[in-house]
Amino acid sequence: MRILQIMPTLAYGDAVGNDALAIYRLLKSKGYETKIYAEIIDKRIPRGIAGDIGGLVTGREDVLIYHMSTGSLLNARFAKMQGRKMMIYHNITPPCFYHGYHSSMEKLCRDGRYALQYLADEVDYALADSEYNAKELRKLHYCCSVDVMPILLSFEDYEKQPDAQTVEEFGDGKTNIIFTGRIAPNKKQEDVINAFYHYQKYYNPDSRLILVGSYFNMEGYYEQLRDYVQKLGAKDVVFTGHVSFEKMLGCYHGADLFLCMSEHEGFCVPLLEAMYFDIPIVAYQSSAIGYTLGGSGILLDKKNPLETAGVMDKVIRDEALRNRILSKQRKRLQDFGKERTERLFMEKIEGFLKNEG
């Protein structure tokens, strides 16, 4: 019996890719025969972990774990593969967010959501990164059991040395507001910019906004954001683009507040990163944000840039409030600790193997 993970693309450094690698290492450590198969494999993935799905032949005894996160022909092919089928649902961005920005991505997301419906009676067990994701599967009447299983995250990586130049650049005494995530329309960086502009204008002119994330393939949206910054008149807004892991750590090291206005997230790993670096979080309540925060951070139920700016200022200046937020965040972070999530994952997969066996 092999436990094989299957996905369209095994990227290096993104949440889905990291989850797959963490699962691989965990299963390997428990003595299972395991490998990852994908159509596209990032060259930085260490050898031996992943293989081209082109040559894969599966048998009835194999357990196939499919990472569902986008549109792909592989979605339909997976349904036809021999073996016991599990899905890990990371969520697929609703296509409407890409409308007007990227027709190919819009189509990809639409196709992905059709495939998600198609797979409703093709999988034997489903894990979802969040309660939000699980609800989507249940709404689609998935025949199998659907359980919540957070992304496996290794916080050891975050103990690496941050890039010294970045730490120095952002350690100049200014108040640093940060948001980490791809420049993408569903993440609503424009609302982060808008709130920041009003915070800078009315509360703290000596502040900086750092938007950490690649804008590759989203150049239109990126240019629109840059124009927006200019038209608003916000100062010191930094778009880092794609940065190394060490530079990303450097950005977190200097941050005073994490501001998230995203309208669609399947889990939102950057929230955990902010918790890890003890950065208070202010976030708009949407999709899986509330689940990941789990009662920590400050959740806003509407987007009003003036009010958001006021909350930002309160959190930064009110030490008692900030400490209270950080205390709850530290407690919530423990729920995603490596030992706990690995134990949970093994319980779920071994439970599945027992039932199916």
Partner 1 sequence: MEERIEKKADGKEEQIDVESIMEEIRAEIKRKGYKEKEVRFSDINISYADNMDVDHMELSAETYKKQLLLLNIQKNVNTNKTLYADSPAGKVEVFFKKVFRKCARFYVEPIVSGQNEYNETNAMLMCQLYAAVKRVEELEKKMAQLEKRIQEKQTAE
CA dist., res. 265 & res. 216, Å (int): 19
Q: Which is closer to partner 1, CB of 227 or CB of 350?
A: 227
Q: Interface residues with partner 1 (CB under 8 A)?
A: 102-103, 190, 194, 197-198, 201-202, 219-220, 223-224, 227-228, 231-233, 295, 298-300, 304-307, 310-311, 314, 317-321, 324-325, 327-328
Least distance to partner 1, CB of residue 24, Å: 34
- Which run of H or of E encompasses 106? helix 103-118
Residues in the chain, overall count? 357
Least distance to partner 1, CB of residue 213, Å: 16
Q: Which is closer to partner 1, CB of 176 or CB of 308?
A: 308
Order of strands, sheet of 84-89, starting from the edge strand that comes earlier in the sequence: 50-52, 33-41, 2-10, 63-68, 84-89, 125-128, 145-148
Least distance to partner 1, CB of residue 118, Å: 25
Q: Which is closer to partner 1, CB of 80 or CB of 231?
A: 231
As given in the structure block, the two tokens for residue 264 are: 């669609």
Q: Which is closer to partner 1, CB of 243 or CB of 299?
A: 299
Q: Which is closer to partner 1, CB of 153 or CB of 298?
A: 298
Least distance to partner 1, CB of residue 115, Å: 23
Least distance to partner 1, CB of residue 305, Å: 6
Least distance to partner 1, CB of residue 302, Å: 9
Long-range CB contact pairs, 286-289, < 8 A, 24+: 286/262, 287/91, 287/132, 287/262, 287/263, 288/91, 288/129, 288/130, 288/131, 288/132, 288/133, 289/260, 289/262, 289/265
Whole-angstrom CA distances from 87 to 24, 76, 126 are 15, 13, 5
Q: Which is closer to partner 1, CB of 299 or CB of 346?
A: 299
Least distance to partner 1, CB of residue 150, Å: 22
Least distance to partner 1, CB of residue 56, Å: 33
Q: Which is closer to partner 1, CB of 59 or CB of 241?
A: 241
Q: Which of 38, 333, 31 is nearest to 21 (CA)?
A: 38
Q: Which is closer to partner 1, CB of 17 or CB of 280?
A: 280
Strands (E), 181-284: 207-212, 237-241, 257-260, 281-284
Strands (E), the chain: 2-10, 33-41, 50-52, 63-68, 84-89, 125-128, 145-148, 175-180, 207-212, 237-241, 257-260, 281-284, 298-300
Q: Which is closer to partner 1, CB of 171 or CB of 241?
A: 241
Query: At 272, phi and psi to the nearest 5?
Result: -65, -35
Residues 177 and 312: beta-carbon distance below 8 Å = yes
CA dist., res. 272 & res. 190, Å (int): 22
Least distance to partner 1, CB of residue 283, Å: 11
Residues 112 and 70: beta-carbon distance below 8 Å = yes
